[in-house]
Amino acid sequence: MIIGSVSENIKSEKRVAITPDVIKKYKSLGFEVQLSKNYASHLGIYDNHYEAEGASILTHDEVVLNSDALLQLNIPNDEILNKLKKNQILIGVLNPYLNKKKLNEITSKNINCFSLELLPRITRAQSMDILSSQANLAGYKAVVDSFAYFQKAIPMMMTAAGTISAAKVLVVGAGVAGLQAIATAKRMGAIVFATDVRLASKEQVESLGGKFLTVEGAENLETEGGYAKEASEDFKKKQEDLLKETLKKIDIVICTALIPGKEAPKIIKKEMIDVMPSGSVIYDLAASQGGNSDLTKVDEIVETNGVKIMGEANILNKLPVSASNLYSKNMFNFINNLFDEEKKTFNINMEDEIIEKTMVK
């Protein structure tokens, strides 16, 4: 059985699905690993590093045609998709909501597609949870980058010349990225506030030293799978009033709120931005799904009334080595669950919740 992976378009995606440290794990299951030339050279990981671990380096086309399972980050381009054949397996972050037509075409050819962002939030799937591993890094990096653009000191400083007040940070969305953002901002000396539609987040926020902003009469907007669901109009209005008042004293906002399969909720309205202090920064991690702020533009810094609004298409391109290391381990754990070691073949067991939920139908 052959596991393969080809280079992504590094202009938009610098992460890779296989790092040298997982090659031996694949080989221990009996797989041969094939990669395209210069697979991760942009990360300073060269072909000889992979070959030293037992991988084979071939042409792009050879890897696609040979692979029983092709492991990627994003949905491949049409050139690769057209080369896939019956009973091959494609695994990645395929975004079936956005790429529905393409995926319908390839699944109709009996190509088995698995999209890892659809993993159920169950204990057995934690080691495969790419959303958590990648969001952790994104939350950290968003804080570091926003602090770099903020033109004041972050912690409180007492000097002979006077006292510098600590920066006030608001984290919108207290999922994995938001919680990491809270922890990072606290470690750097900021005063941190957070808001989330899921009431279960309150305890987590407070355990990290943040202050949880609660909408009066809030309902718990959490799905059985642990994800946020869309808020009612009444909740949105109350949240807007609370945020507008809070933002008058906030220096940095980290936006992380996402609803799986839908456009990101618009939480930070223009009239809220207008009341923020000049010099404030909004860092919007939801930019690629429309953004949590009215003024977010992908890969641009928008400035209005002295407030900078930043939106990254893929913030993990700024931490591609760390992100690849975690992603490749998540991917191996998924393959390990999909593979029947005794029969030396993939077992697409639809009674397994992990397989059933991630398979694109």
Q: Tell me if residue 26 falls in helix, strand or coil.
A: helix
Angle between helices 130-149 and 320-338 (to 10 degrees): 170
Q: Which of 195, 183, 168 has its CA nearest to residue 257?
A: 195
Please, what is the Cα angle at 98 between 95 and 102, to 5 degrees? 85
Could you confirm whether 129 is annotated as catalytic? yes
Could you confirm whether 124 is annotated as catalytic? no
Residue 315 CA, distance from chain mean position: 9
Identified catalytic residue from 46, 47, 97, 121:
121
Q: Tell me if residue 16 falls in helix, strand or coil.
A: coil
Could you confirm whether 121 is annotated as catalytic? yes
Round to whole Å and give the CA distance between 269 and 272: 5
Identified catalytic residue from 227, 294, 322, 352:
227
Contacts 24+ apart (CB under 8 A), 73-82: 73/8, 73/13, 73/15, 73/16, 73/17, 73/327, 74/8, 74/12, 74/13, 75/99, 75/102, 75/103, 76/6, 77/9, 78/102, 80/6, 81/105, 81/106
Could you confirm whether 289 is annotated as catalytic? no
- The token pair at 275 is 């009341």
- The token pair at 176 is 């994995």
Identified catalytic residue from 126, 165, 207, 232:
126
Could you confirm whether 227 is annotated as catalytic? yes
How would you class 352 by CB atoms within 10 Å of its CB: exposed for 0-12, middle for 13-18, buried for 19 or more? Answer: middle
Residue 56 CA, distance from chain mean position: 30
DSSP codes of every residue in 117-173? GG---SGGGGGG-HHHHHHHHHHHHHHHHHHHHS-S-SS-EEETTEEEPPPEEEEE-
Question: Could you give the residue numbers annotated as active site?
Answer: 121, 126, 129, 132, 227
